[in-house]
Amino acid sequence: MRLPRQHEQRQACRPTDPGRQASPARPRRGGPRSLTAAALAAAFLSSGAAPALAQHAQPAPTAPGAGAPTRVHQAALPSSTVEKAISAAESKKGTPYGWGGTGPDSFDCSGLVQWSFAQAGVDLPRIAHDQVREGTRVSYSDARRGDILYWADGGGYAYHVAIYLGGGRMIDAPKSGDQVRERDVNRYNLAGAVRL
């Protein structure tokens, strides 16, 4: 059986634990089956258990809009900052993929995104799924140069990220045995983009 190309990225970014990418600097919090407050509230409501308790389990809205993820920046990054991040990523073309790699000598997908934006003065979390919560989500058709593209599984967990270069091209650290490189956007399981 031939697997789709994106399967390789999933294996590279989520090799053994479907809940998290490598994060040597942070302790693991929760697991792939941990429930959110909203899921707990739904479970209470569907089981007929105390509606008042379920109502209190709803997460509080976050700025800038109700239910929106917390943003690193309140306005889109200036183009000069975006270009610095892209230049940093491009300077690492040919650097080998390394699971859990945060640079400068090896990178995994989220390590490259984090390192590149750090060179432009933007602080991002380490994990792909956490990175896509840092900005405003946009569809791929609305993506701009410098947006973070992300791929997600059926449950919405972001397992791969890349920096969009425009014109259907991106730069990323794709998988084990590969290297940081520019390539066409692979639209298989592409969930969208995040604008910082």
Q: What is the pLDDT of residue 177?
A: 95
Residue holding tokens 């890349």? Answer: 162
Helices (H), 77-168: 79-90, 109-119, 128-131
Q: Which phi and psi angles does 5 have, rounded to 5°?
A: -55, -35
In the chain, which residues have pLDDT < 70?
A: 1-75
Q: What is the pLDDT of residue 75?
A: 67
* The one-letter amino acid at 102: T
Q: Which two tokens stand for residue 95?
A: 């650097």
Q: What is the pLDDT of residue 76?
A: 85
Whether the Cβ atoms of residue 128 and residue 161 lie closer than 8 Å to each other: yes
Give catalytic residue positions.
109, 160, 172
pTM: 0.65
Q: Which two tokens stand for residue 125?
A: 């979390």
Q: Cα–Cα distance between 184 and 41 in angstroms, integer?
A: 42
CB proximity list for 62: less than 8 A, separation 6 or greater: 68, 69, 70
Q: What is the pLDDT of residue 186?
A: 87
